[in-house]
Amino acid sequence: MNTTTREQGAAGQAADRRQGKRLDEIAMALVLIMTGGLWLAPAGFFPEGSWLAGAGLILLGLNAARRARGLKASGFGICVGLVALAAGTGRIIGRDLPFVPALLIVLGVALVLKAARAPRKDEGAPGAM
C-alpha cells in the first residue's frame, strides 16, 4: 500500500479544502448568531457599531485560524475585517472615520476588477473555444 507523492499531495489539498470550508462555515454561523443576538437585544443594549466591529473580529479570527492551521489566509478578508473593525470601533466611540466609506468603495472596485481580469477555468485549456 504505497502511495505516491502526487496522491498524498492531492489528498492533502482535498483535506485543506475541507478544513477551509469548515472554518468558513463556522465563521458564517458566528455571524448569524451575532446578528440574531443583536437583533433580539433591547434597543440601546449594544452601542451602534457593534455589528460592524463583531463582523470585523470574526473575519480576522477566521483568517488567524486559517493561518494557524497552515491554510492560506484571504488578503481581501483581512482588509475587510480591518475596515469593519475600524468602522465599528469608530461608531462605538462616537467618531466617524470618513476614510472608511471611500476605502470600502476602493476595495469593492478592486475586487470587481480582479474578478473581471481573472481567466476563466475553461480558457487556456486544450481544445477550449
10-residue mean pLDDT series, the chain (129 residues): 53 82 94 95 91 96 94 89 91 83 83 84 56
* DSSP at 72: P
Task: Note the pLDDT of residue 124.
Answer: 55
pTM of the model: 0.73
How close are the terminal C-alpha atoms of the chain, in Å? 41
Task: Note the pLDDT of residue 129.
Answer: 47
| Number of residues assigned to the chain | 129
